Amino acid sequence: MLGYLWKKYLNAVKKRLGLLILIVGFAVGTSTYLSMFVVTPTYKATAALLVNTDPTISAEYLLNEVMTNQKVIKTYNEIIKSHLVLQEVIDKLHLQMKPDELGTKIKIVNNTDSSIFTITVTYSDQEAAIVITNELARVFTLKIGQLMQVDNVVVVDRATMDTSSKTSPNVTMNIAIALILSTMAAVGAFGVREYLDPTIKSREEIKFETGLATIGEIGTWSPRRRWLGLKSEVAAASELPQLKLNPTKRNRRVLEGYQHLYRNLLPVLTMEDVRTIVVTSTLDGEGKTTILTHLGILMAQNGHGVLLLDANAEQPVLHGLAPGGAEAGLCELLLGEAELDDAIRPSVIAGLDVLPLGRASLPALRSMAEGRLEDLMPELRDRYDIVLIDSGAMNSSLLPNALAKHADGVLLVIKSGKVAREAGAVAVAGLRQANAKIVGAVLNKNEGHSSRPPFLLERVLQKDIEINQ
């Protein structure tokens, strides 16, 4: 479970790697621009002062004197930041600020066990910082003599251009912080989005949520060159030979996905004698008809005799692949109003025939739901190597479960990011309750790179799951 979740979140990041790079690049670029051109730089200048002790006194007395000096230094710190000292510095240098504002730019540090303390001024101009620091040290030494009648403070080190430095912005540190924070924020957002997204988006999720093997992964075809615009009113015969064309680099992985799907089906067709397959989906609009059509075309182009049977009462569209001819179809066959030869229509692809739905009627649909299609299956098996049956979606029709009982196998199409995990699991449970033999799942509109999955191994594991249920 934990390994599955980690892999799920890692795939979510890999899938959005381009967006991650864009976010991090924008954050780093913004940080660099602000640090170099927008944020006002600040500089610091430091002067060191010494509180004198008498060099002729004893060591024991000297220790007491140093401790006393520590207390004196704390007093000096307050005097340095007093309005008396700060106002004189402001007047002397003609600074446009108030004593309290200048006080916020001053930092006094005294070291323990030492009679030396430092005055550091942070300012937006380096030369001004140096001048203010030195003037502050000078005014303080004068004022301390007047106030406390002592002459024991001397300037050890004056602030110079060599000893002053830039404090902010630290461009390197800002870039590093932007890089780390933007990466963490983006990866975290991807993880939260993945966690909150209830839909199935990968073959790992299909296996984890439904127990099905993923028999194929079909990518998204470029809108600039669509395969088949399957519409009930439009004949698409001119687009059928699309698989024979050389694909563009942009869409090559879609064709590779269909090739992988076909190759993964071959062992099932031969070793398990699966020749009649119902293609269904959990919801409408998952692309099951498109996958069924192109799989049939690819099989026909590889020498198989293929029949596409339209049993989708809600959205029948396969008649558009073989326009013309008689109006009879599956419904007329089930009602005894037509013969098989009159209902089947050839397409422009050699070896690919179509059996359209015909004129849907309540008696015909009732006979289909009651299993009358079972009587037709033996004859279709004798005529064709493979029969692909287009059924309705499971959320809107009872026909998929009824058809699945009389077919050799069921292929469940799952569109990435459309089907909720719970809905997918319920659909599979419904098929198994109908004693359907589920061949596997096809992940449609896959956002990742298409690859040929280890289907035979997954198929063995799927059978183990079905046996143990």
| Each residue's pLDDT tens digit, 205-260 | 898 889 898 988 888 766 544 444 444 333 333 344 444 445 566 567 788 888 88
**From CA 137, how far away is CA 46, in angstroms rounded?**
10
Closest alpha carbon to 265 in 407, 411, 78, 447: 411
User: Amino acid letter at 435?
Assistant: N
**Residues linked to residue 255 through DSSP beta bridges, in sequence order:** none
**From CA 443, how far away is CA 258, in angstroms rounded?**
11
pLDDT band of residue 369 (cuts 50, 70, 90) is confident
Give me the pLDDT at residue 9, please: 77
200-468 adopts what CATH topology? Rossmann fold (3.40.50)
DSSP state at residue 320: G
pLDDT band of residue 101 (cuts 50, 70, 90) is very high
CA terminus-to-terminus distance, the chain: 20
**From CA 59, how far away is CA 443, in angstroms rounded?**
87
Residue 306 has pLDDT above 70, yes or no: yes
**From CA 209, how far away is CA 55, in angstroms rounded?**
85
Average pLDDT estimate for 262-273? 86
Contacts of 316 (CB under 8 A, 6+ apart): 232, 310, 356, 357, 360
Give the distance from CA 464 to its chain's centroid. 33
**From CA 441, how far away is CA 210, in angstroms rounded?**
10
pLDDT tens for 371-384 read: 778 888 889 989 99
Q: Which helix (H) or strand (E) holds 125?
A: none
42-168 adopts what CATH topology? Bacterial polysaccharide co-polymerase-like (3.30.1890)
Answer for the pair 421, 200: CB distance below 8 angstroms, yes or no. yes
Average pLDDT estimate for 93-101? 92
Q: How many CB atoms lie within 10 A of CB 375?
A: 12
Give me the pLDDT at residue 325, please: 57
Give me the pLDDT at residue 321, please: 82
Give me the pLDDT at residue 226, please: 45
**Which tops the pLDDT comparison, 286 or 149?**
286
Residues of the chain with CATH 3.40.50.300: 200-468
Answer for the pair 192, 186: CB distance below 8 angstroms, yes or no. no
Packing angle of the helix pair 83-93, 126-148 (nearest 10 deg):
130
Contacts of 248 (CB under 8 A, 6+ apart): 222, 225
Residue 124 has pLDDT above 60, yes or no: yes
Answer for the pair 455, 443: CB distance below 8 angstroms, yes or no. no
User: Amino acid letter at 43?
Assistant: Y
User: Amino acid letter at 188?
Assistant: G
Give the distance from CA 276 to its chain's centroid. 38
Q: How far apart, in Å, are the Cα atoms of 187 and each of 143, 166, 371, 381?
A: 59, 34, 52, 52
Closest alpha carbon to 315 in 279, 360, 367: 360
Structure tokens at 204: 């790992």
Average pLDDT estimate for 289-302? 92
Give me the pLDDT at residue 422, please: 92
Whole-number mean pLDDT of the chain?
82
Closest alpha carbon to 201 in 419, 1, 2: 419
Packing angle of the helix pair 288-301, 252-271 (nearest 10 deg):
70
**Which tops the pLDDT comparison, 77 or 174?**
174
**Which tops the pLDDT comparison, 178 or 147?**
178
> What is the pTM assigned to this prediction?
0.66
Residues of the chain with CATH 3.30.1890: 42-168
Give me the pLDDT at residue 338, please: 86
Cis peptide upstream of residue 169 (ω within 30 degrees of 0) = yes
Structure tokens at 405: 């009982």
pLDDT band of residue 469 (cuts 50, 70, 90) is low
Structure tokens at 56: 């002729």
pLDDT tens for 164-214 read: 999 889 999 999 999 999 999 999 998 888 888 889 988 888 988 898 989
Residue 62 has pLDDT above 50, yes or no: no
Residue 327, helix vs strand vs coil:
coil
